[in-house]
Chains A and B, each alone.
Chain A
């Protein structure tokens, strides 16, 4: 079974600074997809960014980028120029070609003004 590990239960960052959230996973598959979701306080979970395992190029969405290391099975999320609205719980998720996803336990990010 696939497992996803987020080793940082809590992280904090100063506004306008950069923070990196870590995620590692375990799978025997070669083709799969990885996601970062954001769950703001009392609000719905939304997609932040996703990555196809067959693509070597790291995905980027504005201030959000990933560092995907397939051999190391690592998928970290970098948030640049952190804003107060980035405060949330972030979940890393592994998704196979077909079937259900596996989520990590989440990292709570605090942004300090």
Chain B
């Protein structure tokens, strides 16, 4: 009965480096979401996956951001050439499917600090 897990929990990197953030959703959940949350702020939608459909990438802030979901399970969010404004908590959530009555189950987040 594990929940959504994310790794690493904290990541400190230097400006210009690439980072990869991982999300393990709840088994059987077909929908997976990535959000960004700056300190004390709201959620900024980044991308979501629903089953085998093409992901909705409409929230990705720039082409430095990309995400993939392998085998309909684990997802990786990659940020290339990190900038200081990328510093935030990156949250992953999964649900049985997108929309409808289905609640989203959130992971603990990855706190990214770009120096």
A99, B99: Cβ atoms under 8 Å? Answer: yes
Q: How far is the CA of A106 from the CA of B41 in the complex (A)?
A: 7
Of A45, A52, A99, which one neighbours B101 at CB under 8 angstroms? A52
Known contacts A33-B100, A50-B103; is A100 also within 8 Å of B45 by CB?
Answer: yes
B100, A103: Cβ atoms under 8 Å? Answer: no
Residues in B whose Cβ lies below 8 Å from that of A89: 40
B101, A33: Cβ atoms under 8 Å? Answer: yes
- How distant is A20 from chain B, measured CB to nearest CB, in Å? 20
Of A44, A45, A95, A106, which one neighbours B100 at CB under 8 angstroms? A95
B3, closest chain A residue (CB) = A44
Segment of B61-69, B72-80, B104-112 engaged in the interface with chain A: B104-112
- The count of chain B contact residues (Cβ–Cβ below 8 Å) is 22
Known contacts A95-B99, A96-B99; is A44 also within 8 Å of B42 by CB?
Answer: no
Of B43, B98, B108, B109, which one neighbours A99 at CB under 8 angstroms? B98
B106, A45: Cβ atoms under 8 Å? Answer: yes
A and B contact pairs by CB, cutoff 8 A, 18 listed: A33-B99, A33-B100, A45-B93, A45-B106, A46-B106, A50-B103, A52-B101, A91-B42, A95-B99, A98-B99, A99-B56, A99-B98, A101-B33, A101-B104, A103-B42, A103-B45, A106-B41, A108-B40
Known: A44-B3, A103-B43. 19 other contacts (CB 8 A): A33-B100, A35-B103, A37-B104, A43-B108, A44-B106, A44-B107, A44-B108, A50-B103, A91-B42, A95-B100, A96-B99, A98-B98, A98-B100, A100-B33, A100-B48, A100-B56, A100-B99, A101-B99, A105-B41
